[in-house]
Amino acid sequence: MPSRNRERATNGPHVVVQLLRCANCTQEQTRRLLTAIGELAQLAAWVAADSDQPNAAFGYVRGGVLAAHAAGDTALAGNIEAYAKPGC
């Protein structure tokens, strides 16, 4: 994956986190943004893993799981955790 595309993919979670911090959101909007953070973090973890950056991938997995749990989305958290297990 070209460096510019990798950078775009891995910046996604950070951009949404900044939006969440600056916005005056309802509880439902916050939940939806947290879910988006979890999904973007999962994608960023895949990109980092494919780019031979295991430490970065782990950080995205951890952040994604935390965001998914904060959103109350246990299915997403489980999906992210399953990817992080060896052999997946």
Residue matched to tokens 């935390």: 66
pTM recorded for the entire structure? 0.77
Tell me the CA distances in angstroms from 38 to 2, 3, one per residue in order.
23, 22
Instruction: Give me the domain span that covers residue 52.
Output: 3-84
DSSP state of 23: S
Name the nearest CA neighbour of 71 among 39, 41, 13, 30. Answer: 30
In a 3-state reduction of DSSP, which class is residue 85? Answer: coil
* Helix 74-84 / helix 27-50 crossing angle, nearest 10 deg: 10
Number of domains composing the chain: 1
The pLDDT tens digits for 14-26 are 666 676 667 788 8
Other C-beta atoms closer than 10 Å to the C-beta of 84 total 17
Residue matched to tokens 């510019």: 4
Q: In the numeric block, which tokens belong to residue 8?
A: 């775009």
The pLDDT tens digits for 26-73 are 899 999 999 999 999 999 999 989 889 999 999 999 999 999 999 999
